[in-house]
Amino acid sequence: MLSFEQHTPTKVVFGKDTEMQVGKLVKEFGGTRVFIVYGGGSVVRSGLLDRVVKQLEAEDIICRASGGVKPNPTLAKAKELIAESIAFGADFILAVGGGSAIDTGKAVAHGTANPDKDFWELWLKKIPLTKSLPIGCVLTLSATGTEMSNSAVLTNEEIHSKKGLSTPFNRPAFSIMNPELTYTLPDYQVRCGIVDIMMHTMDRYFCGSAGWGNELTDQIAESVLRVTIAAGRVAAKNKCDYDAMSELMWAGSLSHNGLTGLGGIRDFSTHGLGHSLSAWFDTAHGASLSVLWGWFAEYVWREIPSRFARYARNVWGIVEEDDEKAALAGIKATVDYFKELEMPTCFSEADIPVQSEEMLATLADAPTANGTGTLGSIKKLTKADAIEIYRMANH
């Protein structure tokens, strides 16, 4: 086996009505003044925020809630909430919602703990992040896996830049996961989440390692993908199916807590390319991934045909002895599944107008550091490579 380190410290409390334990969990991790971060208001309308506040108050925990986080969370909103959290004197951040609320909550935790630092400089790692506040999560969307991950993303709208930060300080102290809290989601968000879960797994599974050897890791990843695909088919038709939504919620967490890629060299090219679409066109994160993955895979599969062939056979059940034919069949099966979910697979389907060559080059700037760096590990993608992948999707 290839060498690896594994540390997943988040305490998971999974099941029906688990949000009723939030007060005791915050107290367990030392919170006394809790700043609650949430999104567009669905947690208010559903009564979830009220239940959470009552549980905190029952434990004599002082709290303040502030919402307005939107999909593709922004630097401006994070800074606004950081100022509120500092003024409140928070010692614990609680994110109630999906990936955007949780990522913003992580940002608020870092900014509150470092009030004298330029926050964007911290986010870009130009200033070392040496401390943060603890954060807990009440998850309402199965998608990003941020509820157990060491990563988070924010968009700087002023410069059209969507950047991620990976740090141990991003690991939540606890995550409450009640699949029933996902029942009120719009259908499109459910489908976007399915794609995101798959991509977080595949970004680790399709890696640039010279050899793999970590068979158990590979089989865990393949199992996560098979379960997600099957549960996704059910959830896309009935988002109130508890079993399907349960499987998706746990798969989402496992897909991004590091477990499915132990020992491998990750390739997050699709994410990097997709972030530019979100930053410029506010494309939903899951949609940016479904738009680009098929074209990315078509562009790089020849670098590791046996890996793509294994994926086709073990995930999609494709019976084909020839690796090249199997690889292509696996890519097609994936894109066909995205279409089955009614997810976009090119620019126009995602309501992104066909772009000029100049704009394609602009999109390629961010993931390749303005052409000075490369992206990915399967194939070191230059700016010219990134432009070509965008060009393939540009119809």
Domain layout of the chain by residue ranges: 11-181, 186-393
| CATH level 3 topology of 11-181 | Rossmann fold (3.40.50)
pLDDT of residue 3: 85
CATH code given to domain 186-393:
1.20.1090.10
**Residue pointed to by tokens 């009564």:** 47
Distances in whole angstroms, Cα of residue 295 to Cα of each of 89, 259, 327: 48, 26, 14
Other Cβ atoms closer than 10 A to 68: 14
Whole-number Å distance between alpha carbons of 77 and 99: 15
Backbone angles phi, psi at 21, to 5 degrees: -100, 5
Burial class (CB in 10 A: 0-12, 13-18, 19+), 7: exposed
Q: What is the pTM of this model?
A: 0.95
User: Which residue type does 334 have?
Assistant: T
pLDDT of residue 210: 47
**Residue pointed to by tokens 């000075």:** 372
Question: Do 11-181 and 186-393 fold alike per CATH?
Answer: no
Other Cβ atoms closer than 10 A to 254: 22
pLDDT of residue 208: 61
CA 21 to chain centre: 25
Whole-number Å distance between alpha carbons of 91 and 28: 13
CA 293 to chain centre: 15
pLDDT of residue 105: 98
What stretches of 261-348 show up as alpha helix (H) in DSSP? 269-281, 285-300, 305-316, 323-340
Per-residue pLDDT of the chain (395 residues; tens, 9 = 90+): 778 889 999 999 999 999 999 999 999 999 999 999 999 889 999 999 999 999 999 999 999 999 999 999 999 999 999 999 999 999 999 999 999 999 999 999 999 999 999 999 999 999 999 999 999 999 999 999 999 999 999 999 999 999 999 999 999 999 999 999 999 999 999 999 999 999 999 999 997 654 567 889 999 999 999 999 999 999 999 999 999 999 999 999 999 999 998 888 889 999 999 999 999 999 999 999 999 999 999 999 999 999 999 999 999 999 999 999 999 999 999 999 999 999 999 999 999 999 999 999 999 999 999 999 999 999 999 999 999 999 999 99
User: Which residue type does 284 have?
Assistant: A
Whole-number Å distance between alpha carbons of 224 and 228: 6
Do residues 94 and 55 make contact, with C-beta atoms less than 8 angstroms apart?
A: no
Other Cβ atoms closer than 10 A to 330: 24
Backbone angles phi, psi at 254, to 5 degrees: -70, -30
